Amino acid sequence: MTSQTSVRKIVWLNLVFFSLTAVLGFIGGPIYVARNGISFFEIALTLFYMAATGLSITAGYHRLFSHATYKAHPALQFLFLFFGAAAFEQSALDWSAQHRDHHRFVDTERDPYSIQKGFFYAHIGWLIFWKHRVPYENVRDLEKNAMIRHQHQKYHLWAIGSGIVVPVLIGALAGHALGAFLLAFCFRTAFIHHATFCINSVCHMFGTATYDVHASAKDHWFVAYLTNGEGYHNFHHRFPSDYRNGIRWYHWDPSKWLIASLAKAGLAWDLKKVSNFRIWEARLMAENQRVSEQINQPGKTRCAEELAARLQEQYRRLASVLRSWESVSREHQLMFAEKLKPSAQIVENAIARIQEARKAFILERSRWLKMVRSSIRPAALS
């Protein structure tokens, strides 16, 4: 290949594989079930493989290998590589290299699955109608891992063995070889593929820009359900080093829950989390940018100018209160980080200051939202 990052060329292996698994899974699977029924074993095997391969892509390929948001025990790495290969989404090395380029060059010509080239291209077209140069220079850290190297070098053996041979063999031992092939392999593979692809297409075209209004990446709650929590994509592009994608208690993010559970079991550690203050700072900045762009239209009236000035004053006040809350919280943390052994009274006073600062922020936040909502109809302020 030339120095170009990609050239237009039909990748026949991908085209045939994607087509066959989709047809056999989405059409052949239901026909098989209609004619033969479906056993509990077939359901369990299919659901297990959907969960294992899906989470190996999200918690393994994505959050561990691509972004290094935490560290994992070698046994856990092996499981992610084994079931990640079974997802048939390339080796962990290829996947991570291209994903890192996606973040580095998002929405530019060097983005391997740029939404600027259209929904279909970002969803699946980049895999079947283009041949890409894989940027291995940005995964030198992963190349040092012997298991990752082996999976990459023998990827087809890993994929066929873990993704086809194992589930079909298990199905055959239970007398359901055809059902295992159609459901636990074809249907499961096609579903995981298109769920993953929705991150590159749906989440870069539809949804809410909660933390970065100028990013094409959007938060999309429904895609989160399809992808073990990957749908909170605006947050992820704003804070790619965080092991979480869904940060609220009600956000559907099984990948986050799995990683946190593995950490409690001692199989994962050094989980990276962005400070809540940095998250609030980004969210408030995005809200302010969105409101300002709606108000500061060409030919705005004097009334609009006065409204913009009042909103900016309230935004500055809100940002100041947030900084104060962060400051008193940091002071409290330093007490224990420096092993000062403060008295109970000092600790109690520090906690009281934090609570007061938090209440002040909540009050100013409610005033900000009330002012915004009474003035205009902003998109996705909550």
Residue 6 pairs in a beta bridge with 132
Residue 17 and residue 160: Cα distance in Å, rounded?
A: 12
Residues 264 and 304 in one domain: no
Identify the pLDDT of residue 292: 84
pLDDT score of 376 more than 80: no
Q: Which residues, including other chains, have CB under 8 Å from residue 208's CB and lie 6 or more apart?
A: 218, 219, 220, 234, 379, 380
Model confidence over 268-279: pLDDT tens digits? 999 999 999 999
**3-class DSSP state for residue 88?**
coil
How far from 375 is each of 103, 378, 382, CA to CA, in Å? 36, 9, 15
Model confidence over 50-74: pLDDT tens digits? 999 999 999 999 999 999 999 999 9
Q: Is-contact 98 139, C-beta < 8 A? A: no
Residues 256 and 342 in one domain: no
Residues 126 and 181 in one domain: yes
- Of 225, 251, 269, the residue that ends a domain is 269
Per-residue confidence band for 382, with pLDDT thresholds at 50, 70 and 90: very low
Residue 130 pairs in a beta bridge with 8
Q: What is the pTM of this model?
A: 0.91
Model confidence over 346-362: pLDDT tens digits? 778 888 999 999 999 99
Residues spanned by the domain of 359: 276-375
For the chain, give the percent of residues with pLDDT over 90. 79
Per-residue confidence band for 3, with pLDDT thresholds at 50, 70 and 90: very low
Identify the pLDDT of residue 302: 65
Structural domain count of the chain: 2
Please state the rounded mean pLDDT for residues 126-135: 90
Residue 298 and residue 302: Cα distance in Å, rounded?
A: 12
Residues 362 and 230 in one domain: no
Q: Is-contact 142 153, C-beta < 8 A? A: no
Residues 280 and 264 in one domain: no
Residues 318 and 263 in one domain: no
Residues 209 and 313 in one domain: no
H or E stretch at 33: helix 29-36
Residue 329 and residue 160: Cα distance in Å, rounded?
A: 52
Residue 181 and residue 168: Cα distance in Å, rounded?
A: 6
Q: Is 228 exposed, middle or buried (0-12, 13-18, 19+ CB in 10 A)?
A: buried
